[in-house]
Amino acid sequence: MASSLAMCRLHMTGRSSFVKSLQKLDNFLHRCVGTDVAAAQTETARTDESDETERHKSLHTLLEERQKQAERSVLISCQSRTSEKKFLKHLSRHGDVQKYFFYESYGLYAVVEFATRESVASLLEGTVIPFVSHESVVPFKSRLLSLRNLSSTDTPNQQSGHKCQPQTTIPINELIQRLSREESINQQLTFLTEAYQITEENSRLRFLVCSLLKDCAAAYFPECDIKPFGSTVNGFGKLGCDLDMFLDLDSISGWNVKMPKSGLSLEFQMKRANSERAVTQSILSVIGECVDQFGPGCVGVQKILNARCPLVRFAHQPSGFQCDLTANNRVAMKSTELLYLYGELDPRVRSLVFSVRCWARAHSITSSIPGAWITNFSLTVMVLFFLQKRNPPIIPTLDQLRDLAGPEDKCVIEGNDCTFVSDFSKIRLQSNTETLEKLLCEFFEFYSTFSFSRMSINIRKGTEQNKPEVAPLHIQNPFETSLNVSKNVNATQLDRFVALCQESSWLLQQNVTNVPSGSINPTPWGLATLLLPSQVAGIKSRKKMRREPASERIKGLLESLKNKNSAKRS
């Protein structure tokens, strides 16, 4: 029970400094773009009080705000020689531009957010259907536009100087170098989160793609909504992650509509199908077809309707996002909300999840291709479980969050209890002051020795449970508790994970520190060493694995670091 825990307040000081460091990054990004007039004006006026409000924003509020911004926005393919000033002047004829930024993805694009939706309507009014010789066009008008420069005054060589916002992460080699320049492992962990997380602009672009897709789906279901879920919004997404979307038909499906008890009432006549799954399949099939035939910029559309969770997969070329559209997927939305809540509770949660996800990707423990690999979702649940197991726990269990829930939080989906508290202020955390460095070390140690053969990972209870089924890795689905979220993982992949945890734990225990060399190619140390290629996994089986690194290369690297350290000190 939550009440039985010796709860205390959030560590506001640590939290506040972390949030400020994120804001510094955000401010830096804004300065780079230099386009958010409103933000620039209010930045200096921001107080710690507004920090507080920002901090405790629920996912629901965040989604609403972002969706509204997206509906007031357009995506424009630009010609790089067009001057920014001219471009803005042209757009401003339709109303105030609230925010804009440029990015590159097979060409130059601009995301432009107007102050009102009327401005977007006015802009579209003045937009023409292209004339293409020898070809015909599908006359579907969307908010994905192309800017043509018909003026002869701009010369092709004219430098417009558009500053572009990066939409992908820095390459791993560069990351290793940058991490190696940091002075402590804690700083490395914070840097990694800052460098890899989805930026403000990337988030806006993601919501805009959802909004563009909604325009397609609205041709059939005008009241529908398309919401992002998964790493786009759970707080653990890195630049370049896929865009998971969910077609929300709840406002029209009638599952929460109260029937009148007496008198006359009219109801819609509707086609019937054998199951909800069959309905989902037919809806996705039609929308998939529409996206394929009419959706500007949507390519490689695949309808994967027989999957456990039917989906339409495609690439959205102008944004560069790999998109998965699902429907009737309310449990996944709830999982997203839960992960978001955990990430908001303590800044160490996000940093640790980020670092572990990045480490796992660097060693191909996770993959963007479906298979017997551990997924990012499973890995995140493993980190959360580890944090619940700290003494005192850093985050509460799901059962504790359920016990704190009010009547407004009650949620049952297909018979599964998905209730948990949404009001952050009701959650009191215990006073755990462990550093990120310590937590990272302990994470690897924890899973190096975890009894995967007998026990199941369970974030609802916060303790390991006897495995209910034979599977190499058993992680209980937090909401559909009879399911194993890591059912796909085979013994080889689990062995690789454990072997890498052992090696990483060993590496971090060597206490190698940074020796500033001023070199542009600093020697990797700390977290950076963990991201270097390893030869350990896949060679030895878990039983044969001893608690030492198998990689001679890493041993050699550590030796050279130690020698370098002692040479500097002497």
Note the residues at the interface with ligand GTP (CB under 6 A). Answer: 229-231, 234, 237, 241-242, 244, 331-332, 335-336, 375-377, 477, 480, 485
In this structure, are residues 554 and 562 in contact, taking their beta carbons and an 8 Å threshold? Answer: no
- CB of 95 or CB of 237, closer to ligand GTP: 237
CB of 96 to ligand GTP, least distance (A): 35
In this structure, are residues 94 and 123 in contact, taking their beta carbons and an 8 Å threshold? Answer: yes
- Residue 477 binds which entry of ligand GTP, Mg ion, none, CB below 5-8 Å type-dependent: ligand GTP
- Residue 328 binds which entry of ligand GTP, Mg ion, none, CB below 5-8 Å type-dependent: none
CB of 243 to ligand GTP, least distance (A): 9
- Is the peptide bond preceding residue 228 cis, with omega within 30 degrees of 0? no
Interface residue with Mg ion among 95, 230, 235, 526 (CB under 5 A) is 230
What is the SS3 assignment for 506-521? HHHCCCCCCCCCCCCC
What values do phi and psi take at 307, rounded to 5? -65, 165
CB of 439 to ligand GTP, least distance (A): 21
CA distance 468 to 543: 23
- Residue 332 binds which entry of Mg ion, ligand GTP, none, CB below 5-8 Å type-dependent: ligand GTP
∠ Cα 416 417 422 (to 5°):
135
Six-digit token string for 301: 């559309």
∠ Cα 350 337 396 (to 5°):
60
Look at the chain and count its residues.
570
In this structure, are residues 143 and 73 in contact, taking their beta carbons and an 8 Å threshold? Answer: yes
CB of 197 to ligand GTP, least distance (A): 12
**Using rule CB under 5 A, residue 235 touches Mg ion:** no
**Residue 248: beta bridge partners?**
225
DSSP secondary structure of 251-283: HHH-TTPPPPSSS----------SSHHHHHHHH
Dihedral sign computed on CA atoms, order 335, 236, 449, 440: negative
**Using rule CB under 5 A, residue 318 touches Mg ion:** no
- CB of 118 or CB of 276, closer to ligand GTP: 276
- CB of 310 or CB of 472, closer to Mg ion: 310
- Residue 234 binds which entry of Mg ion, ligand GTP, none, CB below 5-8 Å type-dependent: ligand GTP
3-state SS, residue 404:
coil
- Nearest Cα residue to 553 out of 526, 525, 532: 532
CB of 245 to ligand GTP, least distance (A): 10
- CB of 190 or CB of 336, closer to ligand GTP: 336
- CB of 229 or CB of 444, closer to ligand GTP: 229
Dihedral sign computed on CA atoms, order 287, 289, 292, 294: negative
3-state SS, residue 302:
strand
Q: Among 28-36, 175-183, 237-245, 401-409, which window interacts with Mg ion (CB under 5 A)?
A: 237-245
CB of 471 to Mg ion, least distance (A): 23
CB of 488 to Mg ion, least distance (A): 15
**Using rule CB under 5 A, residue 242 touches Mg ion:** yes
CA 192, chain centre distance (Å): 14
Helix axes 347-362, 376-388, angle to 10 degrees: 140
Interface residue with Mg ion among 231, 355, 380, 551 (CB under 5 A) is 231
CB of 106 to ligand GTP, least distance (A): 22
- CB of 331 or CB of 471, closer to ligand GTP: 331
CB of 400 to ligand GTP, least distance (A): 20
**Using rule CB under 5 A, residue 480 touches Mg ion:** no
- Nearest Cα residue to 323 out of 225, 209, 217: 209
Interface residue with Mg ion among 36, 201, 225, 244 (CB under 5 A) is 244
- CB of 242 or CB of 442, closer to Mg ion: 242
The residue sitting closest to ligand GTP, measured at its beta carbon, is: 230
- CB of 101 or CB of 377, closer to ligand GTP: 377
DSSP secondary structure of 190-209: HHHHHHHBPPHHHHHHHHHH
CB of 237 to Mg ion, least distance (A): 7
Six-digit token string for 531: 């991201």
Q: Among 77-85, 182-190, 241-249, 380-388, which window interacts with Mg ion (CB under 5 A)?
A: 241-249
Which residues contact Mg ion (rule: CB under 5 A)? Answer: 230-231, 242, 244
